[in-house]
Structure 1
Amino acid sequence: MSNLMRAVRAVLWSFIGLGGRRADADRRTAQVGLLPLVGVALATVLLLIGGLLALAHFAAGT
């Protein structure tokens, strides 16, 4: 599995809180590295906020 996919998987698991045991989370973090995790997390948060804003804009009908 590529490093980017490992980072995406680790971030998504941490966002929904189903990461399993702490040792598993530490292992995933060690495999990927801190900088890619921070980048993927930032991009995911921005996409989530953008999606919520677009949904609110659509729901308001403007």
Structure 2
Amino acid sequence: MSNLMRALRAVLWSFIGLGGRRADADKRTAQVGILPLIGVALFVVLLLVVGLITLARFVAGT
């Protein structure tokens, strides 16, 4: 599995709060590195915010 996919998996698991044991989280962080995790997390948050804004505009009809 590529580092990008590992980082994405770790970020998504942490967002929904199902990361498992602390040792597993530490292992995933050590495999990927902290900077790629931060980058992927910022990108996922940006996608989430844009998606929510788009959904709100669609529901409001504007």
Scaled to the shorter chain, the TM-score interval is over 0.9
1:35-46 residue pairs with structure 2 within 5 A?
A: 35-46=35-46
| Aligned mates of 1:35, 1:26 — CA distance in 2 | 14
CA drift of 1:57 comes to: 0.3
Structure 1: gaps spanning 5 or more residues: none
Q: Secondary structure at the match of 1:53?
A: helix
CA drift of 1:44 comes to: 0.1
- The alignment's TM-score, normalised by the length of structure 2, stands at 0.99
Q: Aligned partner of 1:31: which letter?
A: Q
CA drift of 1:18 comes to: 0.4
Identity %: 81
Moved over 2 A (4+): none
| Aligned mates of 2:30, 2:16 — CA distance in 1 | 20
Structure 2: gaps spanning 5 or more residues: none
- The alignment's TM-score, normalised by the length of structure 1, stands at 0.99
CA drift of 1:21 comes to: 0.2
Aligned length: 62
